[in-house]
Amino acid sequence: MKIQPISGPHTGAKGHVSGIMQQVIFALIPATMFGLYLFGWPAINLFVITLISAVAFEYMCLLLANKPTMTIRDNSALLTGWLLAMTLPPWAPWWIGVVGAGISIIVGKHVFGGLGQNVFNPAMLARVALLISFPVEMTTWANVNPIFSSQAPDFIQGLHVTFMGLEQPDAYTGASVMGHVKTELLQNHLLPESLNGVYQQPQAWLGFMRGSLGETSALLLALGGFWLLFKGIIKWQIPFAVLSAVFVLSSVFHWIDPSHYMSPWLHLSSGALICAAFFIATDYVTSPNSAIGQLVFGFSCGCLIFIIRTWGAYPEGAGFAVLLMNAMTPLIDHYIKPRIYGRNRKGLPLESEQ
C-alpha cells in the first residue's frame, strides 16, 4: 500500500481540463460546420491551417519553456485556434491564420506564463492585432456560396484562393451587414432604406449572410451556448449580462431614432455578439471569478460593444470590448468578492442578534 500523507478529500469529481475544452469545442461544432458549408473550400483551408498552427505554436512554446509537452492534450491550444478561426474572414489568405495563431498562442498566452496565466483572451488579442495590422484582409468578406453550389470554388480553386489570393475580389466579396450600415450612415443614408434588401430577419438568424467564418449563425451559436449552460461549463451571468446590455441600450436608442440606430434584433442577429457572449467573454481565465463580478463584466462588455458599434470607427466592437474588460478583470476581482459566512462585505464579523 502506498502511503500518501495527503489531506482530504479522498475522492473527487472526475472532470478534467481537457474535458471542459472538449465540451466547448463540441458546442462550437454546429456554427463552425455551418460556416464551413457557407463559405466552402477556402474557409475549410483557413480553418485547418489556423488549428494546425495553433497546436504547433503551443508545442513549440512548451518545448522552449521546458514544460511537459503532454499538456498539449488539454485541448486548450486547439480551442484557442478554433475560436480564432471562427472570427476570421472566411476567405482570408493562409498567412492570416498562421500569424493569428502565432499571436494568440505566443503573445496572448505563453508570454504570460501559459495556460491560466494570460490577462487577455488569446483569440481576441490575435483577432484585434490582425484587424489593426491587416485591415484589408481582415475586412474582405466573402459572399455566401455554399460548398458544392454552382458559384462555389471547387477544391483546387479553394487552394488558389487561400494560397494565391483572390483575383477578382469584387466578384466574390462584399460588406458585412454591420460594415454596410456604418458606411451608409457615414454617407447620411438612413437605416430603413440602406437595410432594404441587405438584411432579412430569418436568413440573418440562420446565418445566410456575409460575416466571419463561424459567427454568422446566431441561432447555432446560441444553441452551442445553451449546451454549455446546460452542461454547467459556463454560468448564465456573463452571456445574460452581455446580451441584455446590448438589447436594452439598442432598444432605447432605436425607439428614440429608428432611422439612425439599428434595432436590437439586428444587433443580436449579426456580427460577433452571440459568439462573444457565450464563448469569448465567458473565458474562465480572463473573466472575473465571482457571480456579481461576472454580471458587472458582462454588462460592461455589452455596453462597450454597443458604443463601439454605434459611435466607434469600427463596425464591430466585440473584440475590443472583451479585451478592454479583460484588462479590468483583476480590478473587478479585487473589489467584488463573495461575502464570507458570518462577516459583512468588509470582512468584519456580523453583529450578533439573539
Partner 1 sequence: MKNWLKSLRIRGGVHAEERKDATLELPIVSSYPVANKLYIPLQQHIGKAAEPIVKVGDIVLKGQLLAHSQGLISAPVHAPSSGVITDINFYPAPHPSALPIRTIVITTDGKDQWIERIPVDDPFALEPEEISARVAAAGIVGLGGATFPSAVKLNLGRQHKIHTLLINGGECEPYLTCDDRLMQERSDAIVDGIRLMLHGMEANIAKIGIENNKPQAIKAMTNACLPYDNIEVVTVPTRYPMGWEKQLIRFMTGKEVPAESRTTDIGIVMHNVATAYAIHRALRYAEPLVSRIVTVSGNATKRPMNIEVAIGTLISDIFSICLTDKETTARIVMGGPMMGEALPHSDMPIVKATSGVLALTLDEITVAEEEACIRCASCIQACPVGLLPVDMANLIRSNQLDSAVNIGLKDCISCGSCSYVCPSHIPLVHYFKYASGELVSRQQAQHKSEQTKKLADERSKRLEKIELEKEQEAARRKAEKEARDRAKAEQEANEEQGAAV
Tell whether residue 71 is a contact of partner 1 (CB under 8 A): yes
Which 290-319 residues touch partner 1, going by CB under 8 A?
290-291
Q: With contacts defined by CB under 8 A, how many residues of the chain interact with partner 1?
A: 46
Q: DSSP strand E in the chain: where?
A: 141-142, 173-174
For residue 165, give the H/E element and its range. none
Q: Select the span of 104-112, 131-139, 268-276, 285-293 touching partner 1 (CB under 8 A).
A: 285-293
Q: Which is nearer to partner 1, 189 or 235 (CB)?
A: 235
Interatomic CA distance for residues 185 and 108, integer angstroms: 35
DSSP, res 337: -
Tell whether residue 8 is a contact of partner 1 (CB under 8 A): yes
Q: Which is nearer to partner 1, 258 or 338 (CB)?
A: 338
Identify the residue among 66, 150, 196, 352 touching partner 1 (CB under 8 A): 352
Q: Which is nearer to partner 1, 118 or 145 (CB)?
A: 118
Half-sphere exposure of 127 (CA within 13 A, CB side): 29
Interatomic CA distance for residues 289 and 61, integer angstroms: 27
Interatomic CA distance for residues 205 and 309, integer angstroms: 19
Q: Contact 87/213 with Cβ under 8 angstroms? A: yes
Q: Select the span of 219-227, 240-248, 305-313, 333-341 touching partner 1 (CB under 8 A).
A: 333-341
Interatomic CA distance for residues 33 and 145, integer angstroms: 14
CA geometry: angle at 280 spanning 94 and 232, to 5°?
130
Q: Select the span of 7-15, 89-97, 127-135, 212-220 touching partner 1 (CB under 8 A).
A: 7-15
Tell whether residue 9 is a contact of partner 1 (CB under 8 A): yes
Which 44-63 residues touch partner 1, going by CB under 8 A?
none
Tell whether residue 114 is a contact of partner 1 (CB under 8 A): yes
Sorted by sequence, the CB contacts under 8 Å of residue 215 that are 6+ apart come out as: 31, 35, 86, 87, 221, 271, 272, 274, 275
197 exposed, middle or buried (CB, 10 Å; 0-12, 13-18, 19+)?
exposed
Tell whether residue 19 is a contact of partner 1 (CB under 8 A): yes
Amino acid at 43: A
Q: Which is nearer to partner 1, 70 or 186 (CB)?
A: 70
Tell whether residue 346 is a contact of partner 1 (CB under 8 A): no
Tell whether residue 11 is a contact of partner 1 (CB under 8 A): yes
Which 217-276 residues touch partner 1, going by CB under 8 A?
235
Q: Select the span of 6-14, 47-55, 205-213, 309-317 touching partner 1 (CB under 8 A).
A: 6-14
Q: Which is nearer to partner 1, 68 or 192 (CB)?
A: 68
**Minimum gap (Å) between residue 162 Cβ and partner 1:** 33
Interatomic CA distance for residues 303 and 286, integer angstroms: 18
Identify the residue among 32, 50, 76, 270 touching partner 1 (CB under 8 A): 76
Interatomic CA distance for residues 221 and 172, integer angstroms: 25
Q: Which residues bind partner 1 (CB under 8 A)?
A: 1-17, 19-20, 71, 74, 76, 114-117, 235, 284-285, 289-291, 337-343, 347, 349-354
